[in-house]
Structure 1
Amino acid sequence: MTASFQRARRPEQVEARRAAILATAREMLAERGVAEISLRELADRVGLAKSNVLRYFDSREAIFLEVLDQEWIAWLDAVEVAFAEVPPDDAEAVARQLADTLDGRDLLCELIAAMSGVLERNITIDFARVFKRRASANHDRLAALVLDRMPALDPASAAFFGGAVFVIIAGLWPYSRPTEVVTTVAAELGAPPDWADFRAHLAEGLANQLVGQVTRSNPPRPPRAS
């Protein structure tokens, strides 16, 4: 970065610096996992001192959560388009489209897997308020999209399913990316790579969850007394 850019103070220049930091974070996340990227390395790549990066983001984790929010919104845009082809109350089609729209979105899945256990552990209360409001809006949008395709659900069940989507992704993603050591030992034990097909297992898990939510939204009525 140039010296003039580093001295920038106008709002558009501040926003340009924030955008540069986020773009660098994306580049680094394409090379390695969240846990392997330090704030100092990120600052060096941007061309700023670590203290200067912290003027624009509260922490390393806040930077990655900003990237997550951007990826989340882009994914919801794709889901909205994909759902236009889904017939009403077809739980398997809804689940399959959700899984298909995540295919190739490794960055989003990586950040979802790290969100609660890692990234939300080192943020200020002010940033937490901002991020959780955005997350709530994204969650509500997903629930509304699902409810539109699954009118058999009640709103509370659609909201629960929206949260379950993230929980299932967060659980499956690490299992679908085992280390070389774990892969080697699993092969020695004759264990098949059961979780290697992330998309297929995600679709299965989401379909099972959604069918369960529909069933609980529409409990069978007791037989009438004769």
Structure 2
Amino acid sequence: MTKLPPHVQRARRPEHKELRLAAIVDSARSLALEKGVRAVTLTDIAARAGINKSAVLRYVETREDIYLRLTAECWSRWAAALREALGKRTDGTADELATQLCRTVVDQPLLCDLLAHAPLHLERHVSADAVLAYKLAALAALDDMTTTGARFQPVLEDGEVRELISTTSLLAGALWQISNPPEALARLYAEEPRLAHAVVDFLPRLTGAARTMAAGLAVRAG
């Protein structure tokens, strides 16, 4: 029997399986950062990881399963980044919180890309168990961020901070897709003055919307 090359042999020991899964996830991450989540196929991921496409499916359910795992990971990274940005201050304002929420999410382009894909595509092509694992991880990160944000400023209650974070994430997902169009659309926007409104400056637009919402929540809080 012909011995399979090392790059297509099945990992049998637990630590080898973990390394193989990590290689798959890392490959998906790097490809998405290079050309956007929507453009990456399972074949691309397998080639980057150096294994057969069929072998990838021994470790994950689907391409969408890989990116849902990465979305959960990115939520945790966003929570950690916000903690670092706000530090131990307890005298901040709602406006500062909104500004830091936007700055820390913009620093994570992969999360910005994934935020729109998760509900539209990723969650629809995995098992219920995979969706549950993702939802619990994202909720844990949201709880962490809510605690961090509420401690930072004395104006908004936990529920209002949570509302601000959730809405900022939704806006970030939508605005990222608009501000990072495919190459053909980008050329069209540049060549056609009547479509100038379609060109969105991501961070200023997101920050302006989040600050406006924070101001409204602060007024509502009394």
Same fold (TM over 0.5): yes
CA contact (8 A) 2:95 2:211 kept: yes
CA contact (8 A) 2:90 2:151 kept: no
> More displaced, 8-17 or 178-187?
178-187
Look up the match of 1:120: 123
- Offset at residue 122 of structure 1 (A): 0.7
Look up the match of 1:29: 32
Residues 132 and 2 from structure 1, CA distance in 2 versus in 1: closer, same or farther, beyond 3 angstroms?
A: farther
Which has the larger helix fraction? Answer: 2
SS at match of 1:48: coil
Q: Distance in 1 between matches of 2:149 and 2:46?
A: 40
- Offset at residue 157 of structure 1 (A): 1.7
CA contact (8 A) 2:189 2:195 kept: yes
Residues 180 and 49 from structure 1, CA distance in 2 versus in 1: closer, same or farther, beyond 3 angstroms?
A: closer
SS at match of 1:152: coil
CA contact (8 A) 2:90 2:154 kept: no
- Offset at residue 183 of structure 1 (A): 4.1
Q: How does 1:32-111 map to 2 (within 5 A)?
A: 32-84=35-87, 88-111=91-114
Q: Could you list the runs of 5+ residues in structure 2 that have no partner in the other structure?
A: none
Q: Distance in 2 between matches of 1:189 and 1:173?
A: 21
Q: How does 1:129-140 map to 2 (within 5 A)?
A: 129-140=132-143
Partner AA of 1:212 in structure 2: G
> More displaced, 10-19 or 26-35?
26-35
Q: Distance in 2 between matches of 1:217 and 1:204?
A: 20
Matched, 1:208 2:212: yes
1:107-130, CA deviations, whole angstroms, 9 ceiling, x for partnerless residues?
Answer: 121111211112111110111111
- Offset at residue 40 of structure 1 (A): 2.2
Q: Could you list the runs of 5+ residues in structure 1 that have no partner in the other structure?
A: 219-226
CA contact (8 A) 2:10 2:55 kept: no
Residues 180 and 23 from structure 1, CA distance in 2 versus in 1: closer, same or farther, beyond 3 angstroms?
A: closer
CA contact (8 A) 2:79 2:142 kept: no
Q: Distance in 2 between matches of 1:4 and 1:117?
A: 33
Q: Distance in 1 between matches of 2:124 and 2:162?
A: 24
**What TM-score do you get using the length of structure 1 for normalisation?**
0.85
CA contact (8 A) 1:86 1:93 kept: no
Partner AA of 2:216 in structure 1: G
1:146 to 149, 154, 170: 149
Coordinate RMSD, CA, aligned: 2.4
Matched, 1:8 2:16: no
> More displaced, 189-198 or 93-102?
189-198
How many residues are aligned here?
218
1:51-95, CA deviations, whole angstroms, 9 ceiling, x for partnerless residues?
Answer: 321221111111011122222222221211111276635122212
Q: How does 1:118-197 map to 2 (within 5 A)?
A: 118-187=121-190, 188-192=192-196, 195-197=199-201
Q: Distance in 2 between matches of 1:27 and 1:128?
A: 23
